């Protein structure tokens, strides 16, 4: 319990610092400069989920079930993480040198920052998986201090490019230290090609829901940026960041308990978990349909579409449905080897629904249309989970727990 408390304290302090920064940067930079930074953060936030959710959840799910092959996965991940961040870092350096005064450098810098953040989150997750959780809390306490210092520098005149560059540099140093402590990298796993293919498939399927969730926001913010409502990007993203802090905290907490859930949801308990998830999806569909109807009435009956207060209320109103969808997916994906295919398909359907709905709703009603499109994504995701889980109503015969059985084929 003390370990969990220290982990939550480190992440909690960092999230609090991020919230303060979100509120403070808008008046310090002004709407135009903040919109450039905030738009880039919203568009590239999926990169963090791409690097973290799939690999980390795969390791946390498989290590309790496959202790002999776990080290192969860890050493392969270390080898990839020594190389993966290099291209975006080089691109950022080039962009900062060639065009330091334009938005391109900020966008490339935020892409590099998201890459480093994802790498850092994955590294502390790998250290947690092998019994070194203290690196997680220490890294994020340090980032909290850096965030506070940066806010002071912004008040003295530091712009978006310098702000992003400092964060990129700090996270790069932390990643290097954690990579060294993780141990010798190795690609010995390539000598087991069939197992490697199953691992990649598991990573893609386990990471799909979170990547698609962030991609939904990124695609819709991009649509908002090129619409007649583009002045809403900065304030709307600020509200989104404040609201999503709690969602990100929930995702982290669920990940901390993934090894426990992975063992608990074997066999008959996994089937019971999938049944519970199917019941949850029915409630999500009904609640989101009511939400879309209420938001549509607001758009047609009022002119308050551009109000921050209205956005905050609508974000808060969709919290129960999003939390329920996340929890349903968590129960499903940690149950057995086939289930991540269901959550991956559901996430892809949600992303498609968000993009299609957003093409109509965002140009018509700006920020409210963006929120309607996010609700449509949840409806599609929950409906897909409900249908696919219905086809698995009968629990399969128990398979003996072997190392590679629980890797998605």
Please give the mean pLDDT across all residues of the chain.
83
pLDDT given for residue 306 in this prediction? 59
pLDDT given for residue 149 in this prediction? 92
Closest CA relative to residue 211, chosen from 174, 251, 242: 251
Write down the domain spans for the chain. Answer: 2-192, 265-390
Residue range 249-267: mean pLDDT, rounded = 72
Q: Is-contact 111 128, C-beta < 8 A?
A: no
Is residue 130 scored above 90 in pLDDT?
Answer: no
- In this structure, what token pair is assigned to residue 339? 């289930």
Is residue 400 scored above 70 in pLDDT?
Answer: no
**252/12 Cα distance (integer angstroms):** 10
pTM: 0.70
Q: Which are the contacts of 103, defined by CB distance < 8 A and separation ≥ 6?
A: 36
Residue range 303-332: mean pLDDT, rounded = 83
Closest CA relative to residue 64, chosen from 259, 335, 203: 259
Summarised one tens digit per residue, pLDDT across range 174-217 is 999 999 988 788 887 888 888 788 888 878 777 778 888 888 98
**174/182 Cα distance (integer angstroms):** 12
The pLDDT confidence band at residue 128, using thresholds 50, 70 and 90, is confident
The pLDDT confidence band at residue 394, using thresholds 50, 70 and 90, is low
Residue range 246-274: mean pLDDT, rounded = 75
Is residue 171 scored above 90 in pLDDT?
Answer: yes
Q: Which residues of 89-123 are buried (b: 16+ CB within 10 A; e: fewer)?
A: beebbebbeeeeeebebbbbbbbbbbbbbbbbbbb
**74/69 Cα distance (integer angstroms):** 9
R_g (Cα) of the chain, nearest Å: 21
Task: Tell me which of 54-63, 377-386, 393-402 is least confident.
Answer: 393-402
Closest CA relative to residue 60, chosen from 265, 299, 233: 265
Is residue 304 scored above 60 in pLDDT?
Answer: no
């Amino acid at each position: 319990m003390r370990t969990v408390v220290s982990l939550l304290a480190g992440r909690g302090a960092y999230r609090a610092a991020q919230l303060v920064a979100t509120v403070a940067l808008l008046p310090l930079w002004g709407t135009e400069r903040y919109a450039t930074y905030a738009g880039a953060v919203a568009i590239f936030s999926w990169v963090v989920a791409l690097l973290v959710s799939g690999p980390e959840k795969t390791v946390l799910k498989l290590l309790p079930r496959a202790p002999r092959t776990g080290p192969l996965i860890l050493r392969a991940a270390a080898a990839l993480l020594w190389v993966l961040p290099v291209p975006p870092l080089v691109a950022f350096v080039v962009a900062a040198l060639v065009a330091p005064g334009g938005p391109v450098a900020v966008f490339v810098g935020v892409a590099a920052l998201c890459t480093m953040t994802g790498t850092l989150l994955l590294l502390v997750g790998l250290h947690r998986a092998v019994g070194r959780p203290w690196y997680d809390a220490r890294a994020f306490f340090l980032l909290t201090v850096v965030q506070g210092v940066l806010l002071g520098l912004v008040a003295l005149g530091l712009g978006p490019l310098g702000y992003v560059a400092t964060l990129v540099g700090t996270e790069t140093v932390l990643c290097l230290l954690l990579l060294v402590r993780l141990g010798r990298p190795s690609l010995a796993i390539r000598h087991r090609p069939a197992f490697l293919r199953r691992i990649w498939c598991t990573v893609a399927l386990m990471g799909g829901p979170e990547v698609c969730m962030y991609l939904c926001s990124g695609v819709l913010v991009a649509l908002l940026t090129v619409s007649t409502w583009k002045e809403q990007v900065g304030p709307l993203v600020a509200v989104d960041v404040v609201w999503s802090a709690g969602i990100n905290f929930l995702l982290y907490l669920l990940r901390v308990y993934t090894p426990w859930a992975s063992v608990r949801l074997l066999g008959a308990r996994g089937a019971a978990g999938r049944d519970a998830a199917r019941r949850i999806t029915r409630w999500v569909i009904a609640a989101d349909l009511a939400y879309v109807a209420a938001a549509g009435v607001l758009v047609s009956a009022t002119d308050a579409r551009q109000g921050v207060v209205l956005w905050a209320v609508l974000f808060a109103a969709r919290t129960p449905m999003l939390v329920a969808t996340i929890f349903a997916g968590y129960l499903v994906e940690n149950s057995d080897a086939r289930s991540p295919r269901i959550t991956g398909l559901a996430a892809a359907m949600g992303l498609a629904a968000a993009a299609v709905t957003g093409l109509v709703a965002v140009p018509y009603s700006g920020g409210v249309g963006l929120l309607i499109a996010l609700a449509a994504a949840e409806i599609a995701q929950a409906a897909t989970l409900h249908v696919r889980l219905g086809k698995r109503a009968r629990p399969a015969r128990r398979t003996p727990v072997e190392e590679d059985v629980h890797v998605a084929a």
